[in-house]
Amino acid sequence: MEGKLLEMFEVGPCEDDYQLGFLIGQRFCNQIRSRLAGDLILQNQLLPFARTPHAQPLLKALSETNQKKFPRYWAELLGTADGSGVPVLDVIILVNFRKEILPFISKTTMNSNADTTDDCSDVLIVGDSMAVAAHNEDANVALVGHTYLIKGKLSNGLSFIAYTYAGELPSCAFGLNSQGLAFTLNSVPPVEDEIVPAGIGRNFVSRDLLEATSTADALAKRMILNVETASKSRVSVHEVGTTPFFHANMYLHLQVHDENSISRQKRAAVLPQGSKTDFLSLLGDTEDTKYPIYMTGPTLYTLCTTVIDLDERTLTIIEGNPKYGKVSHVFSMSSNELNLKLVNHAEGTHL
């Protein structure tokens, strides 16, 4: 299964956040509508749940809390819904709050197509010879062919690049901005008794990361941090050093573990991790057929791999199995313009 060539849309500065979202929705209306129509989680789980009386307090609480905390990003989503011509309920609430809503749907109504948090893998290192963060972006197969890159320019002068799921805020996956901040994200589930109905959505938190500006000191030190956050204001910050650090979709320092992530952690521990090539081979590993690090379905699929290199000051996107290193995009982190370096898409460039 192969998706189309990843498109990039340059947008902004705009007169307001609604217009930013509207232009994104308008440009990618076909991908957004196609994603919603083929998303079995949305069609079979989220939409039926949203029509029940039980769902209304949850949807209301999520909407009010996040709109109050992040009014600009809420306006951006309103624009995306209007620009793509799809219902606000589908785009703003059900798609962008998918992870926050699913725990409240009775397990008796969930089927085999139910969503999972067991996706994404990272390997990180900071040493004398390299400072690299490599990341597999794994998601439900419904997202294959339904992602794009947004290069946003804001009225305050900030620019960002964000790998974006169709209809969602940039970015629940990975991105970088003109302040030199680059990040990758892994979804990790909280324990059941800590799930609350009125929390801040992960998509809104990650959208806010794209506008973070306090990274000058970290960049000067070639710093890579693994940050885990959980409820009750708990935070764990681990500074990555010369020992390669692998992270899947479970808390290593705060909370619960899951079988999929444990399996990937164990497999990563026995694979070579001495070079960038080793890291890409690790992220392309399929030895464990039940829980492979590189996923090809039937439920989860590795959409792409990104490599953030602090020495080269680049963010690279690789399509297909990363062990073969077929590069589709390379962005410079050395310029405020976040320039796209020339890549021969006909033949591909290899790391």
Same domain, 176 and 95: no
Mean pLDDT over all residues of the chain? 85
Mean pLDDT along residues 9-31: 97
The domain in which residue 61 lies consists of 8-106
Does residue 1 sit within a domain? no
Boundary-marking domain end, from 106, 139, 156 = 106
C-beta atoms surrounding 152 within 10 Å: 26
* Alpha helix stretches (DSSP H) within the chain: 17-27, 29-38, 40-41, 47-50, 56-69, 71-84, 88, 98-101, 202-209, 216-220, 259-269, 276-283
Are 232 and 282 contained in the same domain?
Answer: yes
| Domain-located, residue 212 | yes
Q: What is the pLDDT of residues 264-303, one digit of tens each?
A: 888 888 888 889 999 999 999 999 999 999 999 898 999 9
Q: Are 169 and 76 in contact (CB under 8 A)?
A: yes
pLDDT of the residue at 219: 40
Three-state DSSP at 163 gives strand
Average pLDDT for residues 229-250, to the nearest whole number?
68
Judged against a pLDDT cut of 50, whether residue 325 lies above it is answered with yes
In the predicted model, what is the mean pLDDT of residues 255-270? 77
Whether residues 167 and 263 share a domain: the answer is yes
Q: Which of 60, 79, 106 is the last residue in one of the domains?
A: 106
Domain co-membership, 176 together with 44: no
3 in a domain, yes or no? no
What is the pLDDT at residue 220? 45
Mean pLDDT, range 13-29, rounded to an integer: 98
pLDDT at 110 over 70: no
Same domain (yes/no): 149, 289: yes
Residue 179's contacts (CB-CB under 8 Å, 6 or more residues apart) are 158, 212, 213, 215, 216
Residue 224's pLDDT is what? 79
Are 327 and 229 members of one domain?
Answer: yes
- With a cut of 60, say whether residue 109 has pLDDT above it: no
Q: What is the pTM of this model?
A: 0.87
In a domain, 347, yes or no: no
| pLDDT on residue 217 | 38
User: How high is the pLDDT of residue 346?
Assistant: 47
Question: What tokens appear for 83 in the block?
Answer: 């620009």
Same domain, 254 and 333: yes
Total number of domains constituting the chain: 2
Tell me: pLDDT of 236 over 90. no
